[in-house]
């Protein structure tokens, strides 16, 4: 009898796995027809259930528990990561701090989005669906928000150097300059809020964040188009400007009174 019991020792070791949660034990006891609660379970109950004969039942439940544990670990890792993920900021023109380290941020978001997509194909996904779906939605919103943000920041830096660096541009494109000045105030105010609490989830809770970023993007796009139309007119007036890039042409216009620089 002892020799027979010893043969199931390896199965007992497997059942001690951290992956075996109360729900798995409940399932196992039901299938083995053991009529005691998990908290009252003793070794003899398992010996009497003949685990060798029911090895497939045990193996199936262990496989399910291990598969679910992988998903649990990922959910925990995701929560821990975004609970403390802090945006990398860099000072800009003594006005505010801007976001840098975009590649790392997008790589982290994409990795977790792809992992969730893989999890949805797992046979154990249903157990965690209610916990995973909100994170799927949250990560996609973060991706969309920062996709817009990087576009806004690039346009802002480009136009800020032009409008605040050239008195001539201000006078020639007065309407666009006034519009940009309004965006400048709003955008720098937003970045100051981000600097106070740069944790991504804290940033995502800023009121009307996505709507404001989309509005900035739209307005900056229109300003940039107006600037492009203005430069096109200058090229039509003096064909040699077609041989110059926008930045060089803007520098010439901005320094139009400095003949030596031109």
Whole-number Å distance between alpha carbons of 227 and 222: 9
Q: Distance from first CA to last CA of the chain, Å, rounded?
A: 101
Burial status of residue 202 (CB atoms within 10 A of its CB: 0-12, 13-18, 19 or more):
middle
Give me 174's structure tokens.
């007065």
SS3 91: strand
Residue spans per domain, the chain: 2-69, 85-254
- pTM for the full model? 0.79
Reading the chain (262 residues) residue by residue, the pLDDT tens digits are 888 888 888 888 899 988 999 889 999 999 999 888 888 888 888 888 888 888 899 999 999 999 999 999 999 999 999 999 999 999 998 889 999 999 999 999 999 999 999 999 989 998 899 999 999 999 999 999 999 999 999 999 988 888 887 667 777 888 999 999 999 999 999 999 999 999 999 999 999 999 999 999 999 999 989 888 888 888 898 888 888 887 777 777 766 667 787 7
Residue 149 sits at φ, ψ, to 5 deg, of -65, -45
The CATH number that domain 85-254 falls under is: 1.20.140.100
CA atoms within 13 A on the CB side of 262: 10
């Amino acid at each position: 009898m002892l020799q027979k019991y010893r043969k199931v020792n390896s199965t007992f070791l497997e059942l001690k796995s951290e992956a075996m949660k109360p729900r798995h034990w409940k399932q196992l006891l039901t299938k083995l027809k053991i009529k005691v609660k998990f908290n009252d379970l003793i070794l003899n109950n398992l010996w009497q259930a003949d685990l060798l004969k029911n090895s497939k039942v045990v193996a199936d439940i262990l496989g399910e528990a291990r598969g679910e544990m992988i998903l649990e670990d990922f959910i925990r890792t995701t929560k821990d990561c975004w609970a403390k993920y802090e945006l990398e900021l860099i000072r800009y023109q003594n006005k505010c701090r801007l976001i840098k380290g975009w590649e790392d941020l997008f790589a982290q978001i994409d990795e977790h989005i792809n992992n969730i997509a893989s999890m949805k194909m797992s046979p154990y996904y249903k157990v965690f669906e209610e916990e995973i779906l909100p994170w799927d939605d949250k990560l996609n919103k973060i991706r969309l928000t920062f996709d817009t943000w990087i576009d806004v920041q690039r346009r802002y830096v480009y136009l800020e150097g032009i409008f605040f660096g050239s008195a001539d541009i201000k006078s020639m494109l007065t309407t666009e300059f006034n519009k940009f000045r309004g965006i400048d105030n709003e955008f720098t105010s937003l970045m100051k809020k981000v600097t106070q609490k740069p944790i991504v989830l804290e940033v995502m809770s800023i009121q009307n964040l996505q709507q404001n970023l989309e509005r900035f993007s739209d307005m900056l796009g229109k300003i940039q188009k107006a600037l492009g139309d203005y430069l096109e007119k200058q090229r039509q007036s003096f064909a040699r400007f077609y041989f110059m890039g926008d930045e060089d042409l803007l520098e010439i216009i901005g320094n139009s009174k400095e003949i030596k620089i031109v």
